[in-house]
Amino acid sequence: MAKKPRILVVDDEHTMRDFLTASMTGRYQIRTAGDGKEALAQLQREPVDLVLSDVRMPGGDGLTLLAAIERELDDPPLVVMMTAFGTIKEAVEATKCGAVDYLTKPFGLDQLEHTLQRAFELRALRNENRSLRTTLKAQREQHGLLGASPAMAELREKIEMIADSRGTVLLQGESGTGKEIAARAIHNAGNRRSGPFIRLNCAAIPETLLEGELFGYERGAFTGAVQARPGKFELADGGTLLLDEISEMPLSMQAKVLRVIQEREFMRLGARESTRCDVRIIATSNRNLKEEIRLGRFREDLFYRLNVIPLRMVALRQRKEDIPLLVAHFVRVFCAESGKPVLTVTESAMRNLLAHDWPGNVRQLQNVIERAVIMCCGAELDANQLDLRDEMNRTEEAAELSADLTIREMEQELILRKLQRTGGNRTQAATELGISVRTLRNKLHLYQAQGLSIPG
């Protein structure tokens, strides 16, 4: 049963106190006081939710009481002032000093109830805003890397340690672990936070366009270059450049990036002079770069230039204690986007979420929660709405791939199977694979060049 709101009625006229007590008893818990001094003494002994006070009273008027409440109470209640026609100016002044509303005597019971309900709605909104500010503050302190596990605490600690350094950072970890979020956290925590944060997805840019994207070009540098354009290195000057999935960068381009890191200068396509740049580089990869070096697909000298400060993102299955916090965060975000009240996650749903291995890591968990919130029609999010059986099937589908395949061969096999499973729907396949349609299209062009048959 909901607890009745507590109201303190403050008025020097006992008939008014008796009238208000009789009118509100049943819906509210009512206490009374004859003046401001008595009211303040009661509030210091026992708090209430709302004070309904007359403006003019001997022995301590309403404005003095309002000021004392704001000054002396750690958790001040709402205050609604009551005023006669001649003291409306004082009541208006009281609202400027902290009162949420005022009533002009004489007033009807409907007007009184409407004013009280509006005041309590305001209190609920204030509490919600306070909770949101607390949540946002905690997230800022965590640099957006949510989690109370030792692994996440250690990662945040390392980010604080390296944030002001100019050393290149190599972020490695499985897809969906939050490498880009960690890169932004490094940028935002350091002395380059006021500078630009520029991201380039190396897997999404065709090799023929990658050099122009990185270094820019002059007008007339090639057919179609009708005007000069800066590249990512130039745009990131004074800030941070994130080279996402750098393992996908062709060897020829790796050599040019190595030169920029070493000499801190680059040359636009078609330019005659080089340009200096002050850029901190953060690179990410979901591949084992040492294995890529062994296979001749990644330059060893570039690896050591990037690996000055190595950081590894921990897979979600290795920090399952963070799942409840992540779930609560995603539920709040997607409920707000959908215009729904925040859903309650049932115990059975949470058990299922904790039992799942999450091969797609935090990104997969986020997608599952988003789908469940959109499909949920009630006030609770239960195990049935999570539809984790489909997620299990996706995991099993990936697990069927032979362990004898190389990483690139496994990726190729998984992409082609997914495309076949979706009937050739590239948008759906890319979504289920956790990659962009552009990345999928580029990989399919490569497979076609190798003579492979593309489903659909």
Report the 10 Å Cβ neighbour count for 245: 20
Residues 309 and 322 in one domain: no
What is d(CA 187, CA 162) in angstroms, rounded to the nearest whole number?
Answer: 10
Asked if residues 214 and 200 have their Cβ atoms less than 8 Å apart, the reply is yes
Residues 229 and 251 in one domain: yes
Whether residue 434 is contained in a domain is answered as: yes
Residue 35 has pLDDT above 70, yes or no: yes
Residues 271 and 386 in one domain: no
Q: Pick the more confident residue, 245 or 410.
A: 245
Residue 248 has pLDDT above 80, yes or no: yes
Helix (H) or strand (E) holding 81: strand 78-83
Report how far Cα 186 is from the mean position of its chain's Cα atoms. 16
Domain closes at, from 70, 101, 136: 136
What is d(CA 188, CA 97) in angstroms, rounded to the nearest whole number?
Answer: 38
Asked if residues 189 and 290 have their Cβ atoms less than 8 Å apart, the reply is no
- Assign 395 a pLDDT band (cuts: 50, 70, 90): very low
| pLDDT mean over 213-228 | 87
Residues 385 and 244 in one domain: no
Residues 187 and 310 in one domain: yes
Query: What type of residue is 221?
Result: A
Asked if residues 430 and 437 have their Cβ atoms less than 8 Å apart, the reply is yes
- 328-337 contact pairs (CB < 8 A, 24+): 329/139, 329/146, 330/365, 330/366, 330/369, 330/370, 330/373, 331/369, 331/373, 331/381, 332/135, 334/369, 334/370, 334/373, 334/374, 335/373
C-alpha triplet 221, 226, 231: angle, nearest 5°? 60
Tens digits of residue pLDDT in 117-132: 999 888 887 777 666 6
pLDDT of 194: 93
DSSP state of 11: -
Tens digits of residue pLDDT in 43-75: 999 999 999 999 888 877 788 899 899 888 888
Asked if residues 264 and 222 have their Cβ atoms less than 8 Å apart, the reply is no
Report the 10 Å Cβ neighbour count for 39: 26
Residues 164 and 297 in one domain: yes
pLDDT, the chain, mean: 86
Asked if residues 47 and 75 have their Cβ atoms less than 8 Å apart, the reply is yes
Report how far Cα 415 is from the mean position of its chain's Cα atoms. 29
Residues 268 and 303 in one domain: yes
Whether residue 141 is contained in a domain is answered as: no
The token pair at 107 is 């007033």
Kindly report whether the peptide bond that precedes residue 106 is cis, defined as omega within 30 degrees of 0. yes
Q: What is the pTM of this model?
A: 0.59
C-alpha triplet 295, 298, 303: angle, nearest 5°? 125
Report the 10 Å Cβ neighbour count for 174: 18
Residues 373 and 240 in one domain: no
The token pair at 208 is 């023929």
The token pair at 40 is 């303040």
Residues with Cβ within 8 Å of residue 189, at least 6 apart in sequence: 143, 159, 160, 163
Q: What's the CATH code of the domain at 76?
A: 3.40.50.2300
Residues 129 and 191 in one domain: no
Tens digits of residue pLDDT in 421-455: 776 778 778 878 888 878 888 888 888 777 677 77
Residues 309 and 355 in one domain: no
What is d(CA 444, CA 456) in angstroms, rounded to the nearest whole number?
Answer: 12
Asked if residues 179 and 222 have their Cβ atoms less than 8 Å apart, the reply is no
Instruction: Reduce the secondary structure of 82-122 to three states and give it as a string.
Output: EECHHHHHHHHHHHHCCCCEEEECCCCHHHHHHHHHHHHHH
Name the pairing type of β-strands 309-312 and 344-345: unpaired
Query: What type of residue is 380?
Result: E
Query: What type of residue is 47?
Result: P
- Assign 4 a pLDDT band (cuts: 50, 70, 90): confident
pLDDT of 148: 85
Whether residue 142 is contained in a domain is answered as: no
> What is the domain range of residue 170?
150-314
What is d(CA 204, CA 184) in angstroms, rounded to the nearest whole number?
Answer: 19
Q: What's the CATH code of the domain at 201?
A: 3.40.50.300
Backbone angles phi, psi at 266, to 5 degrees: -145, 170
Whether residue 370 is contained in a domain is answered as: yes
